[in-house]
């Protein structure tokens, strides 16, 4: 596939937020995101490998895709979950359940919904290139969390990597992308949680576990149907 760079966003510290798009104009786009939490390198790596394959593989059908490889470059550079305002970007979206209250610093939702430039940039992309389906790569424990009409995609991916699937991650997530995209854009969301690195798990092994499922999903009718 051929990707064209879009005008980049800018982080709190002025770092560039890269975004790329395939050369297709349509009403719904597949979004592939990573690096919402800067310390979740595993999800960033998986998306990097997937994007490399998409760029190099010219035999597959072109799809309307927008890729944001690292949404939180400040946090990625410093190895921090939060951005440089100490805000958790995945609690900062203008959802119906957004709240200014938080019990742990790592869940700081910011002073107001969309107060952070990183999320402002993503929201502008959504409005210009409306999402039809979103896969957001994270790392915590191997699990596939789905919001809205995405259970079939979660089951498809799980059939390859055997990650458990869930609609409820087990604790409240006010102001999250998983709530915002379905509410505002009617776009289902997969939050793809990779395992965390340890002495038995490497970046390479995480990718190898997920390579076949992700590649086949991109080429599947299941995903194409979500973008109609």
CATH number, residue 179: 3.40.630.10
Q: pLDDT for 24-52, tens place per residue?
A: 999 999 999 999 999 999 999 999 999 99
Q: What is the mean pLDDT of the chain?
A: 97
pTM of the model: 0.97
Number of domains in the chain: 1
How many whole angstroms separate alpha carbon 43 and alpha carbon 186?
24
pLDDT in tens, 58-98: 888 899 999 999 999 999 999 999 999 999 999 999 999 99
| Residue 80: domain span | 3-226
């Amino acid at each position: 596939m051929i990707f064209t760079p879009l005008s980049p966003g800018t982080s709190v510290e002025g770092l560039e937020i890269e975004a790329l798009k395939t050369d297709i104009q349509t009403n719904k786009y597949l979004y592939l995101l990573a690096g919402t939490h800067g310390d979740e390198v595993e999800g960033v790596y998986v998306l990097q490998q997937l994007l490399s394959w998409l760029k190099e593989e010219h035999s597959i059908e072109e799809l309307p895709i927008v890729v944001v490889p690292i949404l939180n470059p400040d946090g990625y550079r410093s190895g921090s979950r939060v951005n440089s305002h100490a805000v958790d970007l995945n609690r900062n979206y203008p959802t119906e359940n957004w709240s200014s209250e938080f019990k742990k610093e790592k869940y700081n939702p910011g002073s107001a919904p969309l107060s952070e430039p990183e999320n402002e940039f993503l929201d502008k992309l959504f409005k210009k290139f409306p999402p039809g389906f979103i896969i957001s790569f994270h790392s915590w424990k191997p699990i596939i969390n789905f919001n809205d009409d995405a259970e079939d995609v979660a089951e498809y991916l799980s059939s390859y990597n055997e990650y458990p699937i869930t609609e409820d991650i087990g604790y409240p997530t006010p102001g999250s992308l998983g709530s915002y995209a379905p509410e505002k854009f009617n776009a289902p969301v997969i939050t793809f949680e990779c395992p965390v690195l340890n002495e038995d798990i490497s970046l390479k092994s995480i990718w190898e576990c997920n390579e076949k499922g992700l590649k086949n999903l991109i080429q599947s009718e299941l995903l194409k149907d979500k973008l109609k």
